[in-house]
């Protein structure tokens, strides 16, 4: 379970690859600034839980929302950066952990009850020197590391031209090719759509359209 959640969180790295491309030219001034977005990966999370093989437990651990908060900044010098809002991610992860804790407790209590056993999961764990809280904290510590946030970051140069957004993955590399994503700006809303990037259908549906709001 821990490995699946950690792998799921790393899924956000795909966004960097999906948006990074090659091109050339000048930047679009209206892009300059900081933009916030949120990618809800609850559907992917639930699918991963269901794929674990325990359908009964999957029903208890499914969630309605698990958002990854992103921050994209386009600078006047033609560089950009994409990071995860650490405070927002902490809150999102804490919410997920609490949902898992409630789900696990109910699952085991119902399981014991179905076996005709009047055993509370907390009592059972206590007998082994553990608790739901300690298990959850251990899981949280393994998932929420500084490296996790660093791995989700990306930076490079960009060019916006004729509704096309070209990005590189290196601040020292200028956009020089023809691979791009399309974008539109309406007021304080930036919408990025899949362009020439070849993505798997499920992945494309999750990432795009990417809707960002200009930071106040």
Q: How far is CA 189 from the centre of its chain?
A: 20
Q: What is the mean pLDDT of the chain?
A: 80
CA distance 212 to 216: 12
Half-sphere exposure of 199 (CA within 13 A, CB side): 25
The CATH classification number of 2-85+145-214 equals 2.40.128.50
The pTM (predicted TM-score) of the whole model is 0.74
CA distance 50 to 215: 36
Measured CA distances, 87 to 36, 75, 98, 182 (Å)? 13, 23, 17, 29
Higher-pLDDT residue of 15, 160:
160
> If pLDDT is split at 50, 70 and 90, which confidence band does 134 have?
confident
Structure-block tokens of residue 159: 């060019």
CA distance 112 to 114: 5
171, 157 contact by CB (below 8 A)? yes
**In the chain, % of residues over pLDDT 70:** 75
């Amino acid at each position: 379970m821990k490995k699946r959640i950690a792998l799921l969180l790393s899924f956000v790295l795909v966004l960097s690859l999906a948006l990074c491309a090659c091109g050339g030219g000048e930047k679009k001034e209206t892009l300059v600034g900081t933009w916030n977005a949120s990618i809800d990966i609850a559907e992917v999370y639930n699918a991963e839980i269901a794929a674990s093989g325990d359908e009964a437990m999957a029903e208890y651990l499914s969630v309605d929302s698990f958002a990854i908060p992103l921050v994209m900044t386009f600078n006047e010098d033609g560089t950009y950066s994409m990071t995860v809002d650490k405070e927002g991610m902490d809150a999102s992860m804490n919410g997920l952990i609490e949902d898992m804790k409630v789900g696990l407790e109910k699952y085991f209590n119902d399981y014991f009850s179905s076996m005709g056993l009047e055993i509370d999961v907390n009592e059972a764990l206590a007998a082994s020197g553990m608790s739901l809280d300690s298990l959850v904290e251990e899981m949280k510590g393994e998932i929420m590391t500084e490296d996790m946030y660093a791995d989700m970051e990306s930076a490079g140069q960009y060019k916006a031209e004729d509704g096309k957004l070209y990005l590189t993955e290196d601040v020292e590399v200028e956009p020089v090719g023809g691979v791009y994503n399309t974008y539109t700006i309406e007021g304080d809303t930036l919408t990025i759509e899949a362009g020439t990037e070849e993505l798997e259908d499920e992945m494309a549906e999750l990432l795009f359209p990417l809707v960002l709001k200009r930071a106040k």
